[in-house]
Each structure stands twice: as structure tokens, then as C-alpha cells.
Structure 1
Amino acid sequence: MKLSPGNVLPASVAGLLLANAAFATNPLIMDQFTADPTARVFEGKVYVYPSHDIKAPPGYKGKPNWFVMEDYHVFSSENLTDWKDHGVILKQTEVAWADPGAYAMWAPDSVYKDGKYYFYFPAIAKAGGFRIGVAIADQPYGPFKPQATPIEGVKGIDPSVFIDKDGSAYLYYSLDKIFVAKLKPNMREIEGEPAVFDYLPKKGLQEGPFVFERNGIYYLTYPHVANKTERLEYATATSPMGPFKHAGVILDEAESGCWTVHHSILDYRGQWYLFYHDKDLSPSFDKNRAIRADKLFFNADGTIEKVVPTLRGVGRVNAGSEIQIDRYSATSGDGIAVAFVDEANPRAGWKTTFSAAKSWVRFNEVDFGAGAQQSIEVRAKAPGRSALEIRLDKEDGPVIGRMEIGQGSDWNIASAAVKGVPAGVHDLFVTQGGGEAIEVDWVRFR
């Protein structure tokens, strides 16, 4: 559980909460819907610029059951565990050229050049059609001041900017296909006419381009509807303008059936990460999405290994925090089920049900620090008497705590003494220790 059941926080309070709470699992943000994350490293931190899905407000006259987005937030983290919401950095009503009632502030990007932060965003213009605008700030979290007009000669969505090692900047965007244009040094205009990458696979929608360079290889990554929903693919070249050759799939279609998958890729402290989204917080409506992150790896020849999406995510968790074991690294399979704690309030998070003897959940990278923990607490409930065991590092590893869970229909916190907890980072195996089925919300060490 991330927030108290039934408690949806206002934005001002949520921002303060995010500054002090650990969201080290997928999805990264729990107090609002987020999508289309562009992650950048600025000032030694990761800043994520997502779009912001909302429910259609009263009087909304747009397409029903569609994407509704009116503003942008930015989130930052130094450890990929504690995410701070810096609040709204740009609203549709602040953009002079944009239709203030279109609610079409779709996937954005931000880059740093020559002392300024440039924020690129699409919106429907008052004159009609999607255009791409630029807002400028002195800090990565704003305040961003939008330019009075969109970029001349560019019509489309999903802007992404790549700055090469020589300082040249390139704007990539999409409109059924993927386009590229070189930016002038002022970062607000393009040089010449946009070019289209018309040699990529012809079948299906292509959008959301994101380009990066590694070891002299330029990678063009993009969502593609090859079948029924989007998957992430990539192509490679020796130049940021191409030509790019299709190279493979980064991420398969979501098992959830989420129709879109928009992403970014970055290297942070020697590890590469894929940021993307799914519909974790809104299983029945994929226009309210939630951003995720997972590790990404390269083969020796520069090809990208396919990313396997996880619930566990990438951040390291402190043993003293409420460890959300429902965001597991692995399970025993049989006897394990995950569901919302409160179906009426998905933002309250999830619970794990252990229904078979010895069924288990693995949760990796828990930091025990100096190993001074004395007790373990579990928020759980069970229809009859049952037990839960906490093992270290392996399914059959040493039992460091065992709790008897009393019979009852209400959530309770059970505790037990901890024995033999070593210092450092370890994996946890939370195991059904006998008796009736148990529902578990979180585990915490003291």
C-alpha cells in the first residue's frame, strides 16, 4: 500500500508526500496518472518529464474515452527511489497559441544547452492541428516560459531532442511516421525542411521517437503498432539523421493490453534504464496511465537486449520503509495472487494473497544498512490462524523472522523479533508458513 485506503491527496499535499516517501517500485508515481516519460540527467539527478493524464473535467467537449491532458509536472530523484514532485511546470492555458480547451498536452521532452533548459511539447493550435512548442527556463524544474508561437515548419506530436557531441541539436517528432529536423543554435527554429524516415517498417503506426548515442552508434527508438497494440522497437545508424536500419524489439506488447507505450532511455551512473508506462492504476481504461522504469542492457555487439517488464522496478528499498512485496521480483507461482487493497481506490496500492503452504514472494535489493534491526512488522489479515516466514536471499535461506497471524477480517500489524540479519543489501523471501490463506500489505523492519 502506498497511500491510506480511501485517501486521495490534493496536489499540494501529494507533492510534500512525494518528497519524503520512497517510490522504488513500479509504477513510480502513485498519487496521479502519468505517461510518456522522458528521463534526463541534469545536475547529477534524474528528472522525468511525463505527460499528465486526468479524468475528463465537467464541460469537456473533446473525443469521449480519449486522452485528456491539461498540464505537465516534473519529478526528480538522485537514487531512483525517492521521487520529488516539483509541481506543475506548464499549463495549456499559459500557451498563447494553443487551444485552451483541447486538453492535448501530449508527450514532452526537455534538454539543456548553453545555460538554459528547453522544454518541448505538443498541443493543438487554435488554428487547428498539432504543433510543437518550446518553453524555456533557468532550472530543470522551471518556471518554464512558453514561446509566443510554435516551431515554424513542424506539425506533429511527441517531440524529442538529441544533442550530439559536437553540440548540434536535432528535433524528432511523429505524425503517423517519424520525422527529423536539425535545430538552429537558438533551439527554437529548424534549419531547412523536416525529413521523414520512410524506410522503417511500413505496416502500423509509428510514433514517440527517442534518439540516443552509445559507442558511436545512434539509436532511434520508437513505439510501433506491428500487431494490435504498441511495442518498442529500435533502429541504428552512424549519423543522427540516418539512414537508420531496423534492429529489433526492445519491449514486447504489454500483457495488460495497454494500447500505448511511450518511453525514453538513459545512462545513469553506469547503468542504462528504460522509462515507459503501463496502466497499473487503471486496468480497465488505458488512457489513465502510470510511468515505470526497468534496467536495460546491451550485448557486446551493441544490440539491445529485450527488456522484461517488472513490478519491482529499479530503486533500492530501505529495510525500515513499508516494503511493498506485491511489487515482487519473482513468486512461487501457485498460491500467489495480487489485487488492489481497495478496488474503489487503486491509488491505495496492492496486497498479496498467500493461499498455499510454502508459497512465496521474492523482493530484491532491500538495504539493511548496518544490520541493527531488532524486529519485523507485517500488515496482514487472515480468515483463520496462519503464519508468515521471512527468509533471506534464497527460497530455502535462513528464517530471520516468523509471525503468527491471528484470525480476523480486519488489517492488523503483527510483529516478531528478528534474528541474524546481516548488514548490507539482501533479497527477501516472504513465505506462507502454514495455516490459512494470508493477505499481506507490507513488511517493515525496525
Structure 2
Amino acid sequence: MKDFKKCAALMVSILWFNCLMAQNPLIQNQFTADPSVRVFNNMIYLYPSHDIPATPGHGRAGWFCMQDYHVFSSSNLTDWVDHGVIVSQNKVPWADSAAYSMWAPDCIERAGKYYFYFPAPAKSGGPKGFSVGVAVADKPYGPFVPQPLPIAGIHGIDPNVQIDKDGQGYIYWAQGNLYGAKLKANMLELASEPVKLEGFPDKGLKEGPYLFERKGIYYMTYPHVADKTERLEYAMSDNPLGPFKYAGVLMDESASGCWTNHQSVIEFKNQWYLFYHNDDLSPAFDKNRAVRADSLFFNEDGTIRKVIPTLRGIGVTASSKKIQIDRYSAKSEDGVGVEFIDTLNKFKGWKTIFNKTNSWIKYNSVLFGKQTAGYVSVNAWSATGGTLLISTEDNLRKVIARVAIPKGNNWSVVKKALISMPTGMKNIIVQTEGSGRVEVDWISFN
């Protein structure tokens, strides 16, 4: 029993160490892309692909380089636990262990088993191009055991799997166009011949199919290069294999110029969400990407409102956490900007720079618990010294703290008693008072 308790305590400490608190991008300590997101047992599981920088002899320079997959989980869309590597290219019996091309995956549950689908090139002598393999586990975070062979009859990338209301499984993939087929109940073999899905634009690259159903309508979402970079589009049908009818743009091309995008759509606690990726953590090289999420809404006729990307993203931030105000909801037109803390190590995140009187930034959905905060801590520095006003936004702006940032050349945490004690859900506004340049990493209430 003593050993069991020690093991349990160790596991809790490991999971806590791997707990990531983030807005957009959701995961900020590694590159992630192509998010497949699922809800299993009231928990959210994120199965992304894993970009890494190519090095001599390991991947192709200037191109996508991916050797394994992680899985992340969350109960609140804010705190994400990294469960580590679940499938690696050198542990898949049929895959080329030197390809570094483990692209967009997916995962689904059936009868208590979890089936993880992934594309990879086969070893020499196997099928040319990409095949799709399956790894099976008893839990959504593994351990996953790869099957000895890929699924016969599929040659392509970006697998997506859905189980319809009648229990029939379907698998979709991309190979120049979008394809689909029925799956046998074992989830490892095709139960029908592949069919080319109809109802999509004829011109431009289409990939990354992701199907979901709502109120009897089947929505096929996919990235499409209509011009130079991918945007997210969708089509609708009354049948899982179509024919589909083009319905519009789900998300415009990235403002940053990131060439790819890739999506999944889930409903969680009566709200729909779009998960996608951008190049936030590597703006100079868009083959190292980062997963994002924003809320998604439907019109009365069932069509989807276009999703506008945000930095704030989704989820509620506890007031006692480090609130990264650089992931803002809104800001003044001038006098405030966001830059990397360390351009040589972008995983350190961003900072907010205030350099004009009355410049401000707003961060929405901060939850103050029953034990009301008495202090605010601000990690900041200022070569000139300056003062920050911290306010809550209800019907009117209410100042809850005035924090003097001392003149200096190093980051330091300044702690200040609050003027008033907020409770419940609040939007937070940080504003400069007077002149002086102030840089802020985070704020926290306790």
C-alpha cells in the first residue's frame, strides 16, 4: 500500500509538471499542428501532429518534420496535461522510421477501446506514398499498440473517423481529393470500396477532411487552397458519404501567411469549438505550427458563422493563475504592442509593451473564486519607471489596483494590495497612467 501511494503521488506530480496553462496557442512549450480533438468521459483529448525542427540526417530541411505524436487532455479548455508520446515512427512495424512524416492523426472510441489513426510512408518494399495505420489502447492516453500492417485500400493522408448514430463507422482521407469508406466493426478494415466525395471545389489543393454531425446534418470541413494559402471551408449533406453541397468559408486564410491550416470541431458543455493551427511560435517558418481554438456558432438555417481567430481563445482563467495579458481580447489602437520575451527561445512566450499614456489591453473571462483576492502580483520591468492601473469591466470600469513599477533593468514581481476585492467572472483591463515604457509578462491575483 505504501508503494502504491508513492507511485500515485509520483504520477500526480508528473502530470502537474506537465500541466500547461495556455490561451492561444493552447500548447506553448512545443510545436503542435493538425488538431484532432475528442470528448471522452467528459474530458477533452487533443491529438495533434508534432512539428520539430529538421536537423542533418533527421528530416528534410525547410519542410515539415514529424517523428511522433503526443496526446493532451483538459477538463476546462484552459489547463492542458501532456501525457507524452503515444506513437513514434520507429515503433510502428510497417512505417519508414526515417521518413519524419507522421502527419495529421485522429482518434475515436468504440466499445471501450481507443483507435488512433495516423498516416505515414511505408518501409521500402511496401506501398508507395502514404498509408494509414491504427494503434489501439484501453485508455484515451494509451499505451497505444500499433497494428502490424496499415489499413488495406487506403492510400493518402489526414485520416478522420466518425461513428454514425446507427453504429456504422466511416473513415475519410485526402489524396488530391477527399475520399471516404465504411469501416468494419473492428475499426481496422474497410467495409466498402473507397468513394471520391462530391460537392467540393474542383480547383486547388483540398486535404484534412473532418466530418461532424449536428441535428441530422453532416458537415464536412476541410482546408482548401483557393488562392495561395489554405483557408477552412465546409460542405453539408444528409448522408455521411454525401453527395455534399459546398456551404462556405469556415475560416479565412491566416493573416500571418501561414500556408497550412487543419481543423476539428467538437461540442463541449453545450458550446461548439473550432480547433485549428497557426504559426504563432514560429512566424518566420510556418512548418513549425501551434494549435489554437475559438468558439464556433451556427445560424438558424444550420449554416456556420465564419470563425474569426483570436489570441484570447477559449476557456476561463482562474485569477490565481499567471494571466498572460498578451493573449488579449482587445487593446487600444496605439501605445501597446506584443513581442516575444526572448526571440532566441520563443517558447518563453510573449510580453505586453505599454509605451503611451492611457494605452490599455483587455483580457476576458477571469474567474475570482469564493476566497476573494487581496493582492495583485505583476511581473514587469521598466527602464523609466511607470504606473499601471488594473480595472475590472462590468457596466463601468472599476479600478481595483494601482501598481507602481520601479525603474530598473531586470524583470521583477511587484506585489500590491487591491483597492477593492473582485468576485465572480470579470474582464480585466490593464492601463498605463502617465508616461514611461512598461513591459509586462503576467499578472496574478491572490
Secondary structure of 1:356's partner?
Answer: coil
Provide the TM-score with structure 1 as the length reference: 0.94
Following superposition, the deviation at residue 348 of structure 1 comes to: 0.5
Q: Is the 8 A contact 2:20 2:82 kept in 1?
A: no
Give the alignment of 1:28-43 within 5 angstroms. Answer: 28-43=26-41
Partner of 1:302: 302
Q: Is the 8 A contact 1:177 1:198 kept in 2?
A: no
Following superposition, the deviation at residue 198 of structure 1 comes to: 4.0
C-alpha change, 1:396 and 1:415, in structure 2 (3 Å) is: farther
Q: Deviations over 1:329-365 (max 9, x none)?
A: 1111211110001111100010001111111110011
Following superposition, the deviation at residue 379 of structure 1 comes to: 1.0
Give the alignment of 1:23-172 within 5 angstroms. Answer: 23-60=21-58, 62-126=59-123, 127-172=127-172
Following superposition, the deviation at residue 395 of structure 1 comes to: 9.6
- Write the distance in 2 (CA, Å) between the matches of 1:17 and 1:355: 39
- Write the distance in 2 (CA, Å) between the matches of 1:210 and 1:347: 29
Following superposition, the deviation at residue 63 of structure 1 comes to: 3.5
**Are residue 289 (structure 1) and residue 286 (structure 2) matched?**
no
**Relative contact order (C-alpha < 8 Å, sep 6+): which is higher?**
1
Following superposition, the deviation at residue 421 of structure 1 comes to: 2.2
Of 238-247 and 20-29, more deviation after overlay is shown by 20-29
Secondary structure of 1:347's partner?
Answer: helix
Q: Deviations over 1:96-118 (max 9, x none)?
A: 11111001110000001122111
Give the alignment of 1:416-435 within 5 angstroms. Answer: 416-435=416-435
Partner of 2:207: 207
- Write the distance in 2 (CA, Å) between the matches of 1:343 and 1:167: 50
- Write the distance in 2 (CA, Å) between the matches of 1:195 and 1:231: 24
C-alpha change, 1:208 and 1:426, in structure 2 (3 Å) is: same
- Write the distance in 2 (CA, Å) between the matches of 1:274 and 1:114: 27
Q: Is the 8 A contact 2:394 2:426 kept in 1?
A: no
Partner of 1:192: 192
Secondary structure of 2:136's partner?
Answer: strand
- Write the distance in 2 (CA, Å) between the matches of 1:63 and 1:436: 47
- Write the distance in 2 (CA, Å) between the matches of 1:172 and 1:128: 19
Q: Is the 8 A contact 2:198 2:244 kept in 1?
A: no
- Write the distance in 2 (CA, Å) between the matches of 1:395 and 1:22: 33
- Write the distance in 2 (CA, Å) between the matches of 1:301 and 1:312: 28
Give the alignment of 1:244-259 within 5 angstroms. Answer: 244-259=244-259
Q: Is the 8 A contact 1:22 1:317 kept in 2?
A: no
Q: Deviations over 1:210-268 (max 9, x none)?
A: 00000010000000000111010000000101010000111111111111101100000
**Are residue 379 (structure 1) and residue 376 (structure 2) matched?**
no
Following superposition, the deviation at residue 316 of structure 1 comes to: 0.9
- Write the distance in 1 (CA, Å) between the matches of 2:248 and 2:226: 12
- Write the distance in 2 (CA, Å) between the matches of 1:399 and 1:254: 36
For residue 391 of structure 2, what is the amino acid of its counterpart?
R
- Write the distance in 1 (CA, Å) between the matches of 2:228 and 2:15: 38
Q: Deviations over 1:391-441 (max 9, x none)?
A: 111596111000111112211222221022231110000001112111111
For residue 103 of structure 1, what is the amino acid of its counterpart?
Y
Q: Is the 8 A contact 2:298 2:304 kept in 1?
A: yes
For residue 161 of structure 2, what is the amino acid of its counterpart?
V
Unaligned 5+ runs, structure 2: 1-9
- Write the distance in 1 (CA, Å) between the matches of 2:269 and 2:332: 33
- Write the distance in 1 (CA, Å) between the matches of 2:33 and 2:349: 18
**RMSD (Å), alpha carbons:** 1.7
Partner of 1:3: none
Partner of 1:8: none
Q: Percent identity?
A: 54
For residue 236 of structure 2, what is the amino acid of its counterpart?
T
For residue 89 of structure 2, what is the amino acid of its counterpart?
Q
Following superposition, the deviation at residue 39 of structure 1 comes to: 0.3
C-alpha change, 1:425 and 1:440, in structure 2 (3 Å) is: same
Following superposition, the deviation at residue 300 of structure 1 comes to: 1.0
Q: Is the 8 A contact 1:358 1:434 kept in 2?
A: yes
- Write the distance in 2 (CA, Å) between the matches of 1:164 and 1:132: 21
Q: Is the 8 A contact 1:19 1:85 kept in 2?
A: no
Instruction: Report the count of equivalent residues.
Output: 433
Of 18-27 and 48-57, more deviation after overlay is shown by 18-27
**Are residue 402 (structure 1) and residue 392 (structure 2) matched?**
no
- Write the distance in 2 (CA, Å) between the matches of 1:22 and 1:171: 31
